[in-house]
A and B are shown apart, each in its own frame.
Chain A
């Protein structure tokens, strides 16, 4: 079983739409959770960390459900500039703390 699983999409949504991505993880002892964004032919960049109580950053809201082992990302009022691949990242609780598990990413295209 994969450590992290995401629906690869693609998600094609009109400008202004609300879109949500889910990501499931297999290790119940996972410690930290993130959403990264990767533009075409560019490096991944941190979009937001995901906290147990859920957190919001402008149009972006992240939620964590430990019981069901999934995290979600909600994007409201989609902009053309939101078009990218969104990577779910999970880190296990380990002595080294260095192991990041990435999902394959969910592709989003926002259409004018």
Chain B
């Protein structure tokens, strides 16, 4: 149950604050992700890091800034957020493998417990 950890679990911040979310995976995986989960909406992929390189950035506003210093750690730096950014932020990790045609395959993602963020 502690394969992927996230801190803090809860965060309340004002629109002018700067804060960071932290994720750590203990599974030896090579890919890490940030997702946003809002009420009544599907999980939205925000960022993907594969082998520490950012491979996906799904049109996320610049007030969200990811950082991946190594394959085990992932940060999400927050600044000047809006109330509509209030949501559950989930980190996940996976072990990618290569198919015969050299395309990457992601089998399973393991999620952390999430940070519930409230922006006032």
Contacts and interface: CB of A to CB of B under 8 A. Distances in A.
B109 interface: yes
A43 B56 contact: no
A106 to B, nearest CB: 12
Contact of B48 (A4, A31, A96, A104): A96
Contacts of A105: 42
B42 A100 contact: no
A94 B106 CA distance: 10
B31 A46 contact: no
A91 B107 CA distance: 9
A32 B107 contact: yes
Interface string B29-71: 0010100000011110100101000011000000000000000
A24 B105 CA distance: 21
State the majority secondary structure of interface residues on A: loop
Which of the four size classes fits the interface of chain A? 20 to 34
A91 B99 CA distance: 14
Question: How many of chain B's residues touch chain A, expressed as a range?
Answer: 20 to 34
Interface in B60-105: 90, 94, 96, 103-105
Contacts of B113: 42-43
A49 interface: yes
A101 B42 CA distance: 8
A42 to B, nearest CB: 7
A43 B41 contact: no
A45 B114 CA distance: 12
Contacts of A95: 103-104
B106 A98 contact: yes
Given A46-B110, A87-B43, 9 more contacts: A44-B43, A87-B42, A93-B103, A95-B103, A96-B56, A98-B55, A98-B94, A101-B42, A104-B40
Complex A-B, nearest 10 residue pairs according to Cβ-Cβ distance, in ascending order: A97-B104, A43-B111, A102-B43, A102-B42, A98-B48, A97-B106, A104-B42, A97-B105, A96-B55, A43-B113
